[in-house]
Amino acid sequence: MDQRSMTPGISSRLSSPPPAAHPSPPPAVVPSAAATPSHPPSPTPDAFTRLEEKWDQFVVMFHRYKEKTEKELQAAVRLQAAARGFLARRQVQSLRGEKHLVVASRATPWPSSHEQAVVRLQAAVRAFIVRRAVRKLHLLISSSLHQLAACASNHQVSSILFEPLQKSRSGYAAPCTAKEGRLPHSGNCLGAGQTQGLVPPSPFIQREVRISALFLGSRRTGGHSRSSNLYCIFVLNNKDEVAMAVEVSRGRDIDAWFKESYKQQVQKE
């Protein structure tokens, strides 16, 4: 049996040209393990944005650090300039002061021989005046003491004794010696603790005694001090029956002695 007769439709189809094929998309190529490249995949857009942000932050921090260092450098430079200016002003002031001192020393020279002679003369005059005043005071005291001694013939006044004190039971007392016999109205001499029966003398006698005590003390000690070496002064007046004993030991006050004697006299009366 003939093959063409058996399949009339197949032969006709084989003889006719094939219909035009419609274009179809190529099938998706599935990457295989053999076709995978060795390098990693490319970065994504998120990674790029993060990198850009970090770079911007680094740039900002760098600019801030640069500005800070520039400010610190400027401050250091200004401080150094101010220190140099201060030192320069101090040096100028010191130089001006030295210059003023030199000018003043030149303007006020040392005192001349004439001025020195005037100063020495003034000192000599002051010393002469002081010596004259001391001499007058000494003469006044001497005359007062001589007047008291001259009154002994009329009023039977005992002599004035300037003898060292002798230590006794009652303290320091002067020796009981009188050139004109025993003292009337007094059994014993009045010592340091025996001031009974005394009344304050007249202001004139107080002044004279005070002056003499001060003067005699200044001769020994070198100053106007009440710590003198005048020991005892005895004066007895028979007319008024007034006895005065002035005891000036070292460190004893005359005014206190007068007050004490007056108080004792009042108590006795």
Q: Hey, what are 179's tokens? A: 């050139």
Mean pLDDT, the chain, integer:
64
Pairwise CA distance, residues 233 & 248, whole Å: 9
Pairwise CA distance, residues 160 & 153, whole Å: 14
What pLDDT is stored for residue 152 in this prediction? 59
**What are the pLDDT digits (tens) for 10-41?**
555 555 555 554 555 555 444 544 445 555 55
Nearest CA to 209 among 227, 193, 232, 192?
Answer: 232
Pairwise CA distance, residues 68 & 74, whole Å: 10
Give 122's pLDDT tier (boundaries 50, 70, 90): very high
Nearest CA to 269 among 202, 199, 187, 206?
Answer: 199
Pairwise CA distance, residues 261 & 230, whole Å: 18
More confident residue, 179 or 36: 36
What pLDDT is stored for residue 108 in this prediction? 66
Is pLDDT of 261 > 80?
A: no
7 alpha carbon, distance to own chain's centre: 144
The pTM of this model reads 0.23
